Structure 1
Amino acid sequence: MLAAVVFDFDGIIVDSEPMHFRAFNEVLKPLGIEILWDDYCSTYIGFDDRDAFRTVLKNNKKKICTKDLKHLIEEKAAIFQKYVQKGEATPLPGAVELIKSIPVRLPVALCSGALREDIIPVIEKLGIDHAFSAIVTAEDTPKSKPDPAPYRLTLEKLGIDDPASVIAIEDTPAGIMSAKGAGLKVLAVTNSYDREYLMEADAVTDSLEHVSRPDLENMVM
């Protein structure tokens, strides 16, 4: 029996990855660093801001102290919020409808590498802020996806002992690895990657418009 459904945020609920990409590059430009879109997709999608900055700086042979790293994260968050306030965070097809179709008795959670301050204004605007029994964000775990720590904490917050009874909905290989590492079953959506990159998931769909609550229940039968 399906015990809970856990949604990723970026690339699942909202089409926000291009916004994150632009915000990263705005912050990195004064450092003489630019992330190309293909590199962002292959390397940085799925990381939280902390690990993304650490990785890009390491790849560019630049060292940074904890204080300066915190400043970069805060600056990037402020830029992202500017985009949100302009109304650029648009929902992806089928996501809000699927969340709203799940009955109250079935817990819904959110597990994301984004900052809480990036997420809350968007889900409030979409009218789904009260839909989640648990929300895990970048600030909540010392390790981000693809490490299983975020999903393990999500299960803990939900009070669920059997991870195989929970469906995670993800759009990246890192997200799939995180959820599978914690023992969840995964439905992948080809919003950010082609199907061939998502085959470690238990099921793959081209859009959440094609997914219903009974489809999710059938995945754990």
Structure 2
Amino acid sequence: MLSAVIFDFDGIIVDSEPMHFRAFNEVLNPIDMKISWEDYCETYIGFDDRDAFREAFAQNKRKFTEKEMKRLIAAKAEVFQSYIRNGDVTPLPGAVQLIKSIPVRLPVALCSGALREDIDPIIESLKIDGCFDQIVTAEDTPKSKPDPAPYILTCEKLGIDDPATAVAIEDTPAGIMSAKGAGLKVLAVTNSYDRGYLMEADAVTDSLEHVSRPQLENLIV
């Protein structure tokens, strides 16, 4: 029996990856660094902000201090918040409807590498902030996806003894690796990557518009 449905945030509920990409570059450009969209899609999607900045510095063969890292994370968060205030957030097809269709008796959670301050105003604007029994964000675990730590913590918070009875909904190879590493079943959505990159998932769909709760239950076999 299905014990929980756990949603990723960026690339599943909202089309915010282009916003994150813009925000990273807005912060990196003044210090003479830049991430290309190709590199962002290939490497950075699925990272939390800290790991993304670490990767950018590594790619540029530059060192950073902890103080500088904190400054960059705070600056990127402020830029991202400005996008939210400007109404730049677009919900992805079917996500809000699927979340609202899940019965109250079935736990629903968010497991994201985004900051809580980035997530809260968006789910409030979409009127789904009361739909989640637990929310795990970048601040909650020392390691981000593709490490399984975020999903392990989410299952612990939901009181799930057997992760194989829960379904994670993801859009990136890093997210799939994280959820599978924690023992969950995974439904992947081709919002950010072509189907060929997502074949480690238990099932792949082109849109959450085509997904219903009974279909999620069928993944638990």
What TM-score results when the alignment is normalised by the length of structure 2?
Answer: 0.99
Indicate the SS of the match to 2:109: strand
1:88 corresponds to: 88
Task: State the secondary structure of the residue aligned to 1:167.
Answer: strand
Map 1:21-170 onto structure 2 (within 5 A).
21-170=21-170
C-alpha separation between the residues in 2 aligned to 1:34 and 1:66? 20
List runs of 5+ in structure 1 lacking aligned partners. Answer: none
Deviation of 1:37 after TM superposition, in Å, equals 0.3
- Aligned equivalents of 2:34, 2:117: Cα separation in 1: 25
Aligned-residue offset at 1:75: 0.2
Q: Which amino acid aligns with 1:101?
A: S
Whether 1:179 aligns to 2:179 is yes
What is the SS of the residue equivalent to 2:61?
coil
Q: What is residue 20 of structure 1 aligned with on the other side?
A: 20
Q: CA offsets per residue over residues 175-219 of structure 1, 9 Å max, x none?
A: 000000000000000000000000000000000000000000111
Counterpart of 2:129 in structure 1: which amino acid? D
Deviation at 1:67, TM superposition (A): 1.0
The CA deviation at 1:152 is 0.2
| Partners of 1:30 and 1:86 in 2: CA distance | 23
Distance 1:182 1:66 in 2: 29
Question: What percent identity do the matched residue pairs reach?
Answer: 77
What is the CA–CA distance in structure 2 between the aligned matches of 1:54 and 1:153, rounded to whole Å?
23
SS at match of 1:47: coil
* SS of alignment partner, residue 193 of structure 2: coil
What is the match of residue 218 of structure 1? 218
For 2:110, what is the secondary structure of its paired residue? strand
What TM-score does the superposition give when structure 1 sets the normalisation length?
A: 0.99
What's the offset of the Cα at 1:31?
1.2
What's the secondary structure of 2:180's corresponding residue?
Answer: helix
- 2:191 aligned partner, one-letter code: N
Could you tell me how far 1:140 is from its partner in structure 2?
Answer: 0.2
CA distance in structure 1 between the aligned counterparts of 2:208 and 2:76, rounded to whole angstroms: 29
Cα distance per residue 1:65-104 (max 9 Å; x no partner): 1111011000000000000111111100000000000000
